[in-house]
Structure 1
Amino acid sequence: MAYSAKVMEHFSNPHNVGEIKDADGVGEVGNPKCGDIMRMYIKVDNDVITDVKFMTFGCGAAIATSSMATDLVKGKTIPEALKLTNKAVMEALDGLPAIKVHCSVLAEQAIKAAVSDYYRRRGIDPTPIVGEIKDADEAHEHGVSEEDE
């Protein structure tokens, strides 16, 4: 299983690691099949994600995709962040082995879970805005994103 230089860089030197104690939204997702767990923290000001951090328990690809996802949404508006796809995360990392695609799905879903929590804390139903937070099991089993099926 070969990883790109970008995957190795984000695994070895992950960006935005840690917690935000006074986060405006916190999302946690996991995959019971492989044991990967991602928790994302967001700080929002005027609809812009001004800070984002993550804590991930998992393989190197899970850490790399978490790191890249935080880079991709930091400084973006919430609507822009919600457009983040697992494919965009993979492309930014110059690809992932098929067996690790589920890590990029988890990263996408962790961002969406944090945004959902942000809306819930404000008394807003996030489902019409964010959609359902999907399970990454399908991607883990098949090595593809749900969009590819």
Structure 2
Amino acid sequence: MEEYSDKVMDHFAHPRNTGVIENPSGEATVGNPTCGDLMTFYIDVDDNDVIRDVKFKTFGCGAAIATSSMITEIAVGKTVDEAYKITRKDVAYDLDGLPKIKMHCSNLASDALRAAIDDYRAKKAKKEENA
């Protein structure tokens, strides 16, 4: 059995950026029916398309919580275009690796972030269309 890195254990035991952003710029929920993990991500984006804040709520295994926590740390301060390019490999690398059987968790975290960015972009386009 593969072991979790100290970073994974730290992000699981002490997750960063948990919670909800009221009136978020973008929000999305994604899940994996196979393993039962469910993540909701909230992003706050400034007028220059820079992510000011990311919060999450995750129901799932330790790796799902750790990857959610880590991706929020990676995304804050990046533009939405930069954050959209964060891959599951980036998340796993920053966590000093994940067991192969848990790589789908980092995939889910990056999917959730991208979906929240998609929601933000759709809201922004609608706002510009109505301006």
Mark yes or no: TM-score above 0.5: yes
Give the CA deviation at 1:122: 2.1
What TM-score do the two structures reach when normalised by structure 1? 0.81
RCO comparison, higher one (Cα < 8 Å, 6+): 2
Cα-Cα RMSD: 0.8
2:96 alignment partner, SS class = coil
Give the CA deviation at 1:75: 0.8
1:77 aligned onto 2:40: no
1:21 paired residue number? 22
2:10 paired residue number? 9
Q: Which amino acid aligns with 2:92?
A: M
Q: How many pairs are equivalent?
A: 124
2:59 paired residue number? 57
Unpaired stretches in structure 1, ≥5 consecutive residues:
125-149
Query: What CA deviation, in whole Å up to 9, does each residue of 1:16-74 have, x standing for no partner?
Result: 00000110100111000000001110000020000100000000000000000000000
What percentage of aligned pairs have identical amino acids?
58
Unpaired stretches in structure 2, ≥5 consecutive residues:
127-131
1:93 paired residue number? 95
Distance between the aligned counterparts of 1:119 and 1:47, measured in 2? 10
Point out 4+ residue stretches in structure 1 off by more than 2 angstroms.
none
What TM-score do the two structures reach when normalised by structure 2? 0.92
